[in-house]
Each structure stands twice: as structure tokens, then as C-alpha cells.
Amino acid sequence: MRSLKLIIAGNGLAIFLTVVFLLPIVAIVAYVATSPLDDALGRLGLAMRTYWGWSTNEFDTLERFVKIGFAVRSVIIAVSISFLYFGITNWLNMGLARTRARESIGRQSKITEAIQPWIFVGPTLVLILLFLLVPALSTLRLSFQEYDGAFSIRNYAFLWDADSLGYLQFRLAMRNSLMWLILVPSTCIMLGLLIAVLADSVKWGVIAKTFVFVPLAISFVGAAVIWRNIFAGGGIGAVEAINGTTPSYQIGLMKALLGHTAAYNEPLYNLKFWGNFFLMWILVWVQTGFAMVIFSAALRGVPEDTIEAARIDGANPFQMFFRIKLPQIYSTVLVVWTTLVILVLKVFDIPYALSANDDDKLLLATMMENARNNWSIGGDNVDNLFAAIAVMLMLTVVPNMIFNGWRIRQEQKELGN
């Protein structure tokens, strides 16, 4: 067994060294060999500019087409390198396994199967290390530093100091983020379950689900603009017309339904405290379709025999859902919950697009932007404060990670039993 482990380790090291040296060299050669294509595409752009009479100046046209050429080359080279990586590593793994264990096909298979998963997982682990763990540790280090590099907890003290501007905004951002974390995923899950169950019980359910799913294809900024018009206040005052002055105003659909006039021209999402719920609704509107599709697929996976047995036992629709169907899709509900929680923690576009940046509507993400632009304590310390808020934002994800880790282990134990 020990010799087998040494052989596997030797195989892995040989593959690792081959990939580390060979692929970068191939990538560099590919970039150098294809670099004339950028100039060719730039000349093509200038020719098109002359032919069609574009108003853009020569320098900007040339620069744009060169950048487009570089982007296209990068995508093609990256995809090619990926295929080359998997081809070379798979070939090396199988070849080295045959060389090191000629006498036993079973031993060759063990070597190949031991290394094969790492061939696929390896690049992901490297990318996570380079673009997640390293920046996270760097941000943590920066959050404990002063602007001159000295170690300090002053950045965190500033956030929790009751006499500072940072404390008020940080407290409100934490309160609002907590409300978003509780209300948005809960509402999306409840509406998604409700629509999935009701839509499957009617003939035109597919059409209904299509309309509910469509907002998911809209960007957060696009959704914010749509609902800005719905939540908008009136307020285009009297305008001069040919025959005198005509009162004219424009008002959003929601405010019109509430009976607000043009005199009350404040958008609903600007209301103190209550405006948070109108902002939340925009995200709920976008993400309910996601929850609905996942739950609809999960409900279709509930065994028909179980449902039929419940009907024979006289279960009513509420008992059928809460005691039969819901327990069997519990894992799916948790997956959707986790996905929505992570999404909520990253929300920035919606309040930013609506300029809803008052203190009572700050989220941790928008507060980071506010800190970067407006805060400073004792010198050029904004980046360090920015890092401290980022660490606090990361800490809000930790309970969710711990819960999911515990849930996965519990499921593995149940499958093992």
C-alpha cells in the first residue's frame, strides 16, 4: 500500500511539473504568435471607419478594434489551453500508470482513479486559492492596519464607536442587511412554493410560470428602472400651453393606486425605513421565478406512490403539501435558501441604481461604497476602513457556511446508514 501511495504521489508530481512548465510556455508562444492579428483587426477597423464614414476618430477606432482582437484571442487561447490541459494530463496519467504498474491492470486502475479527480478539481482549487483565499487574507491583513502600515484595531473601533459617523451608518447597514437576509429569501421561497404548487394544478400553469420566470432574465439595474417608474412620485408641475397654463403631472402606478397626487412627489422607495421594503420587493420580483422553477422540478420528483397512499388515507391538500411533499423537498428548500442568502449579501445594484443611499437604507455593500467615497479617520485610511467593512460582510456568510457544512454531513450520515 505504501509503495502504491508513493507511485501515485510520483505520478501526480510528474503531471504537476509538466503542466506548470509546459502550459504557460504554450500560452506565451500562442499570444506572441497571434499578436499580429491585433494590428490586422485594427487596420480593418480603420478601413471600415473610412468606408462607412464613422464619426469616431482614428485613434479610438484603432484602440477599440485592437482590444476586441486581444479579447477574442484570449478567449480562444484560454479554451484551447483548457482542452490541452485535460488531454495532456489524462494521457500522462494513463501512460505513467501503465509504466509504473505493468504487472497488474488493477493497480493501473487504482493509480488512474486516484489521480483522475484531481485533474478536474485541481484548476478549480488553484483559482480559488489565487482569487479567493489570497485576496481574503490580504483584506483581513489590511483591515488591521493603519494607513502607515502599523498594526491596529482602530478601523473596527471606528465602526463600533457610538460617537462616530461610522457607527450610525454601520448599525443601520447591519440592521437593513439582516432584514434583507430574513425577508427576501423567506418571501421568495414562500411565493415560489405557492406558485409551483398552484401552477401545477391548472392547465395553463406553464404560461403562468413563464410570466413569473421572465423577470429572472432582467438585470438588477433593469429591474430597478422598471420599478422606479412604478414607485415614482408625481411632480411635473404646471406647464405652459398655447391657450394658457394646463396642470400636468406624471405619477407611478403604485402611487396612483394608493391615491397619491402630484403634490406628494416622493418615490415610495425613498420613504424613511419603509422604503427598504419597496427595495426588497424588487429583488423578490426578480428571484421568485428562480425559486419557483427549482421547487416545481423538486415537487415533480416526489414519488407518485407516496402521494397516492396519502390520498387513500384521506389527506387533504394542506396535509398533502405540508406532511408529504414539503418534507421530501426539504433539502431543495435549503439549497434555494442558501443561494438566495448569498445573493442578498451581494446586493448593490438595486439601491445604487435608484440612488437610495440614505443612511436608513444602507446595506453593507452600499456602505462600502459610501465609506470609500466619504470616510477618513486620521489620514488616508479609507482603504483600511473599506477592508474592515469587507471583513464584516464576509463574517455574515460564516453562519450560513457552518450550517450548510453541518447539513451536508448529516445527509452523508443518513445515506451511510
Instruction: Measure the CA–CA gap between 364 and 397, rounded to whole angstroms.
Output: 12
- The pLDDT tens digits for 267-305 are 888 888 898 999 999 999 999 999 999 999 898 888 888
| pLDDT given at position 241 | 41
Non-local CB neighbours of 282 within 8 Å, separated by 6+ positions: 220, 223, 224, 227, 350
What's the pLDDT score for residue 103? 60
The H or E element containing residue 391 is helix 382-395
- Compute the average pLDDT of residues 376-397: 72
Residue range 162-187, pLDDT digits in tens:
666 667 788 888 889 889 999 999 99
pLDDT tens digit string along 35-60? 999 889 989 999 998 888 888 888 88
Indicate the average pLDDT of the chain.
81
Q: How many CA atoms lie within 13 A of 263 on its CB side?
A: 1
Sign of the dihedral defined by the CA atoms of residues 299, 301, 304, 308, in that order: negative
Pair 143, 388: CB distance under 8 Å: yes
Among 5-14, 62-71, 241-250, which is the least confidently predicted range? Answer: 241-250
pLDDT tens digit string along 100-137? 666 676 777 777 777 777 888 888 888 888 888 888 88
Which amino acid appears at position 236 of this protein? Answer: I
pLDDT of residue 236: 46
Kindly indicate the confidence band of residue 161, based on its pLDDT and cuts at 50, 70 and 90: confident
3-state helix, strand, coil in the chain (%, to 5): 75, 0, 20
The DSSP secondary structure of 256-317, one letter per residue, reads HHTT--TT----GGGSTTTHHHHHHHHHHHHHHHHHHHHHHHHHHTS-HHHHHHHHHTT--H
Instruction: Tell me the percentage of the chain whose pLDDT exceeds 70.
Output: 84
The residue type at 100 = R
Q: Please give the CATH architecture assigned to the domain spanning 154-220+272-416.
A: Orthogonal Bundle (1.10)
257-270: pLDDT as tens digits: 777 666 666 788 88
Selection from 128, 129, 115, 127 nearest residue 86 by Cα: 115
Whether 222 has a pLDDT exceeding 50, the answer reads yes
CA-to-CA distance for 347 and 342, rounded, in angstroms? 9
Report whether 231 contacts 250 (CB < 8 A): no
Which residues, including other chains, have CB under 8 Å from residue 15's CB and lie 6 or more apart? 89, 92, 93, 96, 115, 119
Task: Evaluate whether 20 touches 92 at the Cβ level (below 8 Å).
Answer: no
pLDDT of residue 363 exceeding 60: yes
Contact 143, 36 (CB under 8 A): no
Count of CB atoms situated within 10 Å of the CB of 375: 18
Unique residue bearing C-alpha cell 455593500: 365
Residue count (the chain)? 417
Report d(CA 81, CA 413) in Å as an integer. Answer: 40
Q: Which pairs from 41-50 meet CB under 8 Å and 24+ separation?
A: 41/65, 41/66, 41/68, 41/69, 42/66, 42/69
